[in-house]
Amino acid sequence: MLVLSRKESEKIMLGDSIVLTIVRVSGDRVRLGIEAPSDMLILRKELDQAADLPSAATTPGELPATIAPPTAA
Protein backbone atom coordinates (compact mmCIF):
# COMPACT_ATOMS: atom_id res chain seq x y z
CA MET A 1 0.00 0.00 0.00
CA LEU A 2 1.29 3.44 -0.92
CA VAL A 3 0.67 6.01 1.84
CA LEU A 4 0.82 9.70 0.92
CA SER A 5 0.60 12.86 2.99
CA ARG A 6 -1.38 15.68 1.41
CA LYS A 7 -2.68 19.08 2.51
CA GLU A 8 -6.02 20.67 1.69
CA SER A 9 -6.46 21.48 -2.02
CA GLU A 10 -3.67 19.11 -3.06
CA LYS A 11 -4.42 16.43 -5.63
CA ILE A 12 -3.44 12.83 -6.32
CA MET A 13 -3.60 11.32 -9.83
CA LEU A 14 -4.67 7.69 -10.26
CA GLY A 15 -3.84 6.68 -13.80
CA ASP A 16 -4.79 9.12 -16.56
CA SER A 17 -8.43 9.72 -15.72
CA ILE A 18 -8.93 9.81 -11.93
CA VAL A 19 -8.06 12.76 -9.68
CA LEU A 20 -8.47 12.74 -5.89
CA THR A 21 -8.57 16.19 -4.26
CA ILE A 22 -8.19 16.75 -0.52
CA VAL A 23 -11.13 19.12 0.01
CA ARG A 24 -11.01 19.49 3.80
CA VAL A 25 -9.19 18.06 6.81
CA SER A 26 -10.99 18.48 10.11
CA GLY A 27 -9.83 16.54 13.18
CA ASP A 28 -9.80 12.86 12.28
CA ARG A 29 -11.94 13.31 9.14
CA VAL A 30 -10.80 13.94 5.60
CA ARG A 31 -13.18 15.12 2.86
CA LEU A 32 -12.19 13.90 -0.61
CA GLY A 33 -13.28 15.07 -4.03
CA ILE A 34 -13.15 12.47 -6.80
CA GLU A 35 -13.03 13.29 -10.50
CA ALA A 36 -13.50 10.16 -12.60
CA PRO A 37 -15.13 9.11 -15.86
CA SER A 38 -18.93 8.94 -15.59
CA ASP A 39 -18.93 5.25 -16.52
CA MET A 40 -16.88 4.36 -13.42
CA LEU A 41 -18.80 3.20 -10.34
CA ILE A 42 -17.34 4.68 -7.14
CA LEU A 43 -18.46 3.28 -3.78
CA ARG A 44 -17.26 3.59 -0.21
CA LYS A 45 -15.84 0.24 0.92
CA GLU A 46 -18.59 -0.28 3.51
CA LEU A 47 -21.18 -0.03 0.71
CA ASP A 48 -19.34 -2.52 -1.49
CA GLN A 49 -21.36 -5.45 -0.11
CA ALA A 50 -24.62 -3.61 -0.82
CA ALA A 51 -23.52 -3.12 -4.43
CA ASP A 52 -23.06 -6.90 -4.77
CA LEU A 53 -26.67 -7.62 -3.81
CA PRO A 54 -28.96 -8.49 -6.73
CA SER A 55 -31.41 -5.71 -5.75
CA ALA A 56 -28.62 -3.14 -6.10
CA ALA A 57 -27.32 -4.29 -9.49
CA THR A 58 -26.30 -1.41 -11.73
CA THR A 59 -24.55 -0.67 -14.94
CA PRO A 60 -21.20 1.14 -14.67
CA GLY A 61 -21.68 4.76 -13.61
CA GLU A 62 -25.19 4.15 -12.27
CA LEU A 63 -25.74 4.31 -8.51
CA PRO A 64 -27.77 1.60 -6.76
CA ALA A 65 -31.16 2.83 -5.62
CA THR A 66 -30.07 2.69 -1.98
CA ILE A 67 -27.14 5.06 -2.53
CA ALA A 68 -27.89 8.74 -3.03
CA PRO A 69 -25.66 10.84 -5.28
CA PRO A 70 -23.51 13.43 -3.51
CA THR A 71 -25.05 16.77 -2.66
CA ALA A 72 -23.38 20.12 -3.13
CA ALA A 73 -21.61 21.26 0.03
- pLDDT tens-digit series, residues 22-67: 999 999 999 999 999 999 988 888 877 765 665 545 555 555 555 5
Q: Name the H helices within 1-73.
A: 48-52
The boundaries of the domain holding residue 38 are 11-56
Closest CA to 29 of 56, 8, 57: 8
The backbone region for 66, taken as left when phi is positive above 0, alpha when psi lies in -120 to 50, beta otherwise, is: alpha
**Minimum mean pLDDT range among 1-10, 16-25, 41-50:** 41-50
Domain contains 49: yes
pTM of the model: 0.62
**Banded pLDDT at 71 (limits 50, 70, 90):** low
Asked, for residue 69, whether it belongs to a domain, the answer is: no
Cα–Cα distance between 63 and 41 in angstroms, integer? 7
- Inside any domain, residue 73: no
Split into its structural domains, the chain has a count of 1
6 in a structural domain: no
**Which pLDDT does position 44 carry in this prediction?**
86
